[in-house]
C-alpha cells in the first residue's frame, strides 16, 4: 500500500520507483515500438478517459501548454490535499503523455528555421521517446523543459519565476537521488537528469550568473562523459574531452553544455570550463539537432573552441595560423544536408559563411591582438552584415535563427554608427521570439560602454578594451 503522503505536491511525485501507476506505462514502453506508442488514437482516448474520469477538477486538453498542466496539478492538489492519486504523477505515467510530448516536440521543431528531411526529424523524436522510457523523473523534466522552451519561443518571459520554481524543485530531488546507493547505469541516468535540469537553469538565471552555474555543474558533466565509453574514440587523449563526440551524442544535453561553454568563453572572455579535443575522429551518423535548433554548425563550434583555447594559451591549443587556414579554405558542401525546402540550403550556406567570417574577425582580435581598424577585421564584419541578410524572414520561424555570436563580434569591431545601429537593433529587439543561447540584450550595455568609451568616435580598439567594458558593465559572478 502506498503512503498517502506521496500525493502531496511537495512529496516525491517524480519518484523513480515503479509504482502502481508507473508499472503499466513502463511495460508498454519496453514491449512496443515507437510507432505503436505515438499513433494509437484509440489508446489515447481510452487513457484520457481513464486518467481523468475520477478527477473532474483536473481536466487536461491536448491544446494545454506544459506550464498550464503543471499549474492545474498544483490547483488540484490544493483542492484535494488528501487525495490518494497525485494528478501530475498520474498524467506523467499515462500512455497519453507520450503523444502529448511528441505533439509539443512537433511544435518546437516547426519553429526551427531549418528543417532537415524526415529521417533526421524522426531520429530526433525517437530519441525523445527513448528518454521518456526510463523514469517518471525524466518525464517530469521533459514536461518542464517543453514549457521553458515554448515560453522563450513565444517571447513570454512572464513565467520565468514559475519556471525557476519547477526547475529548482526538480533539481533538489535529483541531487537527493545522487546520494542514494544506485547501480552504475542508474547513477549514470541520474547524473544526466541533473545535468539536464541545470542546463535549463542557465536559461533562467541572470547572464552574470551563467558562468557560475556552468562551473557548478561541470563535475557532473565530466562524470557523465567519462562514464560513457561511446564518447571516447580509439587514440584520443583522456585528459581532453572529445568535443566532436559530445556534439554528436545521443544525450543532447552534453552538446548543449559544450555549446554554452564555448559561447560563454567567447562572450565573457573567460576560459572554458573543461579542456576540449577538437579532433574529428569520425563523422557523426546523424546531424546533431542543436544545429537546427540554434543554427550552430558543428564544424564552426569546433573552431570556436579552438580559438578560445588559443586565446587562453591552452597547452593543447592549435597554432593560430592553422585555425586561420581552416577558416580561409572552408568550402560549402551543398549535398551535406537535405532540407524540406530548397531555399533552406542557401540560407544554411549563409549561416555557415557568417560563422566563418565572424570567427576570422574574432581570431584576429582576440588571438593576434589586432586592432579593429585592421583591413582584415573590417572586411569580415562588413561581409557578415551582408551575408546575414540572405536569411530572409519566413514567417515566425525567422526569429529562431541565432546570430548572437556574429552580432556580438561585429559590435565589438564596428566603427561606424550605421554598423552599430544594426547590431544594437538586432541584439536588443524584444518584439520577436528568440530562443538564443544567451540573453543578447544584456550585452547591449556592454557595447554602449565600449562605443562611448574606448571606441568613441570610431576609434580603433583592441580585444582588451572590450574585456574592460564587459568587466565594468557585466561582471561575472565567480
pLDDT cut 70: percent of the chain above it: 77
Give the pairing of strands 241-242 and 276-277: parallel
Least reliable range by pLDDT among 280-284, 312-316, 430-434: 430-434
Report whether pLDDT(168) > 60.
yes
pLDDT confidence of residue 99: 82
Helices (H), 227-282: 243-247, 252-268
pLDDT confidence of residue 176: 85
CA distance 309 to 166: 36
Question: Residue range 270-297: average pLDDT?
Answer: 85
- Report residue 281 as a C-alpha cell: 575522429
Cα-Cα-Cα-Cα dihedral sign, residues 451, 452, 453, 454: positive
pLDDT confidence of residue 9: 33
Quick one: DSSP state of residue 453? T
Least reliable range by pLDDT among 1-10, 67-76, 145-154, 277-286: 1-10
Report whether pLDDT(201) > 90.
no
The whole-chain average pLDDT of the chain stands at 80
Question: Residue range 276-301: average pLDDT?
Answer: 84
Cα-Cα-Cα-Cα dihedral sign, residues 395, 150, 127, 106: negative
Quick one: DSSP state of residue 476? P
* Short-list 44, 45, 82, 74, CA closest to 58: 74
Report whether pLDDT(20) > 50.
no
Stronger pLDDT, 221 or 335, i.e. the higher one: 221
pLDDT in tens, 438-457: 888 899 999 999 999 999 99
Residue reference for cell 561575472: 476
pLDDT confidence of residue 13: 39
Q: Give the end-to-end CA distance of the chain in Å, rounded to a whole number.
A: 48
Q: Which residues contact 57 (CB under 8 A, 6 or more apart)?
A: 75, 76, 79, 80
Residue spans of the domains in the chain: they are 66-71+83-204
Helices (H), 289-341: 289-294, 298-311, 320-328
For residue 151, is it left (φ>0), alpha (ψ between -120 and 50) or beta? alpha
CA distance 202 to 259: 12
Band the pLDDT of 384: cuts 50, 70, 90: very high
CA 213 to chain centre: 14
Q: Which residues contact 337 (CB under 8 A, 6 or more apart)?
A: 116, 287, 345, 348
pLDDT confidence of residue 264: 96
Report whether pLDDT(22) > 50.
no
For residue 433, is it left (φ>0), alpha (ψ between -120 and 50) or beta? beta
Band the pLDDT of 371: cuts 50, 70, 90: very high
CA distance 304 to 358: 10
For residue 240, is it left (φ>0), alpha (ψ between -120 and 50) or beta? beta
Please state, in angstroms and as integers, the Cα–Cα distance from residue 41 to each residue in 48, 96, 143, 262, following that order.
11, 9, 21, 43
pLDDT confidence of residue 235: 87
- Report residue 94 as a C-alpha cell: 499515462
Stronger pLDDT, 380 or 157, i.e. the higher one: 380
CA distance 165 to 384: 40
Report whether pLDDT(38) > 50.
no
| Phi, then psi, of 277 in degrees rounded to 5 | -105, 115
Amino acid at each position: 500500500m502506498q503512503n498517502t503522503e506521496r500525493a502531496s505536491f511537495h512529496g516525491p511525485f517524480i519518484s523513480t520507483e515503479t509504482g502502481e501507476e508507473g508499472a503499466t506505462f513502463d511495460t508498454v514502453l519496453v514491449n512496443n515500438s515507437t510507432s505503436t506508442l505515438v499513433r494509437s488514437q484509440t489508446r489515447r482516448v481510452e487513457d484520457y478517459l481513464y486518467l481523468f474520469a475520477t478527477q473532474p477538477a483536473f481536466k487536461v486538453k491536448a491544446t494545454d501548454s506544459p506550464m498550464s498542466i503543471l499549474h492545474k496539478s498544483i490547483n488540484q492538489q490544493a483542492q484535494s490535499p488528501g487525495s490518494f492519486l497525485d494528478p501530475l504523477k498520474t498524467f506523467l505515467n499515462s500512455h497519453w503523455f507520450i503523444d502529448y510530448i511528441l505533439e509539443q516536440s512537433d511544435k518546437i521543431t516547426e519553429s526551427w528555421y531549418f528543417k532537415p528531411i524526415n529521417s533526421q526529424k524522426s531520429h530526433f523524436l525517437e530519441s525523445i521517446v527513448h528518454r521518456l522510457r526510463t523514469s517518471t523523473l525524466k518525464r517530469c523534466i521533459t514536461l518542464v523543459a517543453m514549457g521553458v522552451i515554448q515560453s522563450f519561443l513565444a517571447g513570454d518571459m512572464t513565467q520565468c519565476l514559475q519556471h525557476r520554481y519547477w526547475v529548482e524543485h526538480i533539481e533538489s530531488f535529483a541531487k537527493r537521488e545522487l546520494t542514494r546507493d544506485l547501480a552504475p547505469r542508474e547513477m549514470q541516468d541520474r547524473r544526466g537528469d541533473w545535468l539536464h535540469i541545470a542546463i535549463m537553469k542557465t536559461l533562467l538565471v541572470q547572464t552574470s550568473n551563467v558562468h557560475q552555474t556552468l562551473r557548478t555543474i561541470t563535475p557532473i558533466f565530466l562524470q557523465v562523459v567519462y562514464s560513457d565509453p561511446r564518447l571516447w574514440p580509439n587514440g584520443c587523449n583522456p585528459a581532453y574531452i572529445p568535443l566532436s563526440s559530445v556534439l554528436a551524442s545521443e544525450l543532447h544535453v552534453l552538446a548543449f553544455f559544450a555549446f554554452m561553454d564555448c559561447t560563454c568563453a567567447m562572450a565573457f572572455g573567460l576560459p572554458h570550463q573543461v579542456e576540449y579535443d577538437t579532433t574529428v575522429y569520425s563523422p557523426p551518423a546523424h546531424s546533431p539537432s542543436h544545429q537546427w535548433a540554434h543554427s550552430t554548425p558543428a564544424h564552426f563550434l569546433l573552431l570556436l573552441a579552438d580559438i578560445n583555447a588559443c586565446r587562453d594559451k591552452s597547452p593543447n591549443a592549435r597554432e593560430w595560423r592553422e585555425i586561420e587556414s581552416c577558416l580561409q579554405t572552408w568550402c560549402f558542401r551543398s549535398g551535406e544536408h537535405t532540407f524540406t525546402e530548397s531555399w533552406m540550403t542557401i540560407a544554411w550556406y549563409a549561416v555557415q559563411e557568417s560563422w566563418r567570417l565572424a570567427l576570422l574577425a574574432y581570431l584576429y582580435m582576440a588571438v593576434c591582438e589586432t586592432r579593429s581598424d585592421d583591413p582584415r577585421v573590417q572586411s569580415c564584419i562588413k561581409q557578415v552584415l551582408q551575408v546575414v541578410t540572405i536569411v530572409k524572414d519566413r514567417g515566425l520561424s525567422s526569429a529562431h535563427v541565432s546570430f548572437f555570436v556574429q552580432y556580438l563580434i561585429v559590435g565589438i569591431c564596428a566603427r561606424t554608427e550605421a554598423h552599430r545601429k544594426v547590431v544594437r537593433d538586432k541584439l536588443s529587439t524584444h518584439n520577436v521570439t528568440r530562443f538564443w543561447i544567451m540573453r543578447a540584450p544584456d550585452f547591449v550595455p556592454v557595447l554602449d560602454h565600449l562605443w562611448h568609451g574606448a571606441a568613441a568616435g570610431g576609434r580603433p580598439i583592441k580585444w582588451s578594451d572590450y574585456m574592460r567594458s564587459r568587466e565594468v558593465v557585466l561582471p561575472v559572478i565567480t
